[in-house]
Structures are given as structure tokens and as C-alpha cells.
Amino acid sequence: QLLRSHGCRVLAIDLDGRRLELARHFGAVTVDLSRGEDPVAAAAVFSRQQGVDGVLIAASTSSNEPVHQAAQMCRKRGRIVLVGVVGLELSRADFYEKELSFQVSCSYGPGRYDPNYEERGQDYPIGFVRWTEQRNFAAVLDLLADGRLDAVPLISHRFPIDQAEQGYQVLTNDPSSLGIIIEYPSSITQPDDLLRKQTVTFATPKLAPKLATPVVAFIGAGNYATQVLIPAFKKSGVRLHSVASSSGTSSVHAGRAYGFQEASTDTSHIVSDPKIDAIVIATRHDSHAHYVVQALQAGKHVFVEKPLCLNATELQEISNSYASRLTFHF
């Protein structure tokens, strides 16, 4: 679908007739290996005897044949990209005679496995790296939004969360599986379940109260909070009491990793807790003002990651009444 949306003609080769039928549905010409069809001969006809411009190999086999056949299909100076896992005993003659390019795909694009990019948010300049991991995702979302990419036919199985183990068995044992969706209930029916609680208390020893030691809570447990802010506060000697995030997963992880007393998805619980002296706001920028005002109205000191707010009205509301209790972090 991605190739077709960019004006390419696509030849799809597989052993699975159902997948080939799906490929034809999306506009590809197909070659069925289970029927003994010759992929190299089909590619020659498909390309009008010129050879194809590129081959994407998404197979899983120890055989070297997919790469050899891909080289035979390509035009001179064509390109082969390995997405799957196949045998890699390459023939020099295959590549030398046509000056072919061979590349192994690194997941989602430039930036993948780079901690500076993925964990610290250091983006690559668009003038030098046009398609990064993030920009690839954005392009796919654009295609989904305007209907050029349809993911629904790619979903082969759906399982409720309580049957997730069965879903993983299908993934590993059923060659016909494609997209597998794990579905979560739309309503909470078991509030006593640990995973569905708004607040989780950790079984960690509580520190003895110290008169001069401030008790701090975090709203937001993203990369910057967990990699920079929380370690800095912990090093300063404050008592880390509560950490909150929208889903709860990242707050539980941060809570256990840094010794918080509790993790929560309930920010109002944190704001109203009289034991908490100061709240660190480390959420998305467009939510800063909302949480800052809530915390200040509750009499808390506030440490807010920039920006304080996003418009003049919010700034006026905050600065008129609460400026004396704000700490700005740049």
C-alpha cells in the first residue's frame, strides 16, 4: 500500500495464497511459489525485461536463495533491502555484474537504537536526515488519515486481554497470522485489581520524617522526568512521595526505580495530599498551566519544566496570584 500510494508498481511473491490474495486486493501483481511459479521469470515479464528497481525481502529462512533471486530480478544498479532474516552467503558475481546495492533495514529508520535520539530527544536535522524514526511514523499516520493506507484488512486475529497468552501462541505457531490485536475492556469491573487501581503503594520502607526535608511529588513520568529531573531531585536529598502518569505504567516503573512511596494515575490525589510540600510538573506542554494552577491553589510549591504555559491568559492568571511560589526550570 505504501509503494502503491507513491506511484510504484508492485510484484508480491509468497507461498501463502491468502496473503497473495490480500496483496492483489491492494493492487499488486502476485507470484505464488506454492504452485511452482518462477519468481525471476515473472519479475522479468513484470519489468518489461528491464529488471525491477528494488526488492524488499521480508522472508524468514536460512536459505540464501531469496537474496540470489532478488539479485537476478534487479536491473543494473538496483537495490535490495533485507527486512526479514535470510541466509546471507552472498554471491560476488550477483552484485558485481550489476553494481547492486544491499542494505539491512534497521527497524523504523535512523534514530532507532540511538539513546540520544530515543531517550534524550536529540533530533537529527531534517536537511541531513529526511526520514528519521519519528518522521516515518508521522508519514504513516498521514497516509492513514487520508485513506491511502488501510490497516484493517491486515488484522488477522483479535483476543481479549484475558486470552493474551493464546494470542502469543498464534503469533509463534500460526504462519497465516498478520496483525494481532489485544483488546482491553472499555469499563472497569474489578476495582480491586492492582493493575486497575488509581494509586499503587509500594512496599518500600518509609523514611523517618525530617523537619527540614521537603516532600516532593511528580506529575509526569516521561523520558525527561525519569532521566533528568527525578535523579536530580533524588540526589538533592528530598523525600520522593508520589509520581503520576496518565496510563500508570510509566509512573509505576519510575516509582519502583527511584524509591517513591506510591505511583498513581490520579493527579487530584497528589494535589490534595497534605503530606506533599512541592509538586514537579513534567507533563506535556499544553497541560502545564492546568496542573500549575491546581497545585498552587492547593498551597503547594511548584517546580515546572518550561514552558510555564502556552498563552497570555494562562500566564496572567498564574502570575497575578501565585508568582511567589513558582520555581522556573530552564
Span 18-61, pLDDT tens digits: 999 999 999 999 999 999 999 999 999 999 999 999 999 999 99
Task: Look at residue 190 and tell me whether its pLDDT is greater than 60.
Answer: no
pLDDT tens digits for 233-265? 999 999 999 999 987 888 999 999 999 999 999
Give the pLDDT mean for 73-83. 97
**Is 217 within 8 Å of 244 (Cβ atoms)?**
yes
pLDDT-based confidence at residue 196 (cuts at 50, 70, 90)? very low
For 120-126, the CB contacts below 8 A with 24+ separation are: 120/223, 120/227, 121/223, 121/224
Would you say residue 329 has pLDDT above 80?
Answer: no
Average of per-residue pLDDT across 56-83: 96
How high is the mean pLDDT of the chain?
Answer: 88
List, for residues 90-103, the tens digit of each pLDDT value: 999 999 999 999 99
pLDDT category at 89 given cuts 50, 70, 90 is: very high
CA distance 324 to 321: 8
Q: Residue 321 — very low, low, confident or very high, per pLDDT cuts 50/70/90?
A: low
What is the reported pTM?
Answer: 0.57
Residue 327 has pLDDT above 80, yes or no: no
In this prediction, residue 289 carries a pLDDT of: 85
**Residue with grid cell 499516520, as numbered in its chain:** 141
Q: Is 213 left (phi over 0), alpha (psi -120 to 50) or beta?
A: beta
For the cut 70, the answer to whether the pLDDT of residue 197 exceeds it is no
Say whether pLDDT at 191 is over 50: no
Q: What is the pLDDT of residue 304?
A: 87
- Alpha carbons within 13 angstroms on the beta-carbon side of residue 231 total 6
Contact 315, 308 (CB under 8 A): yes
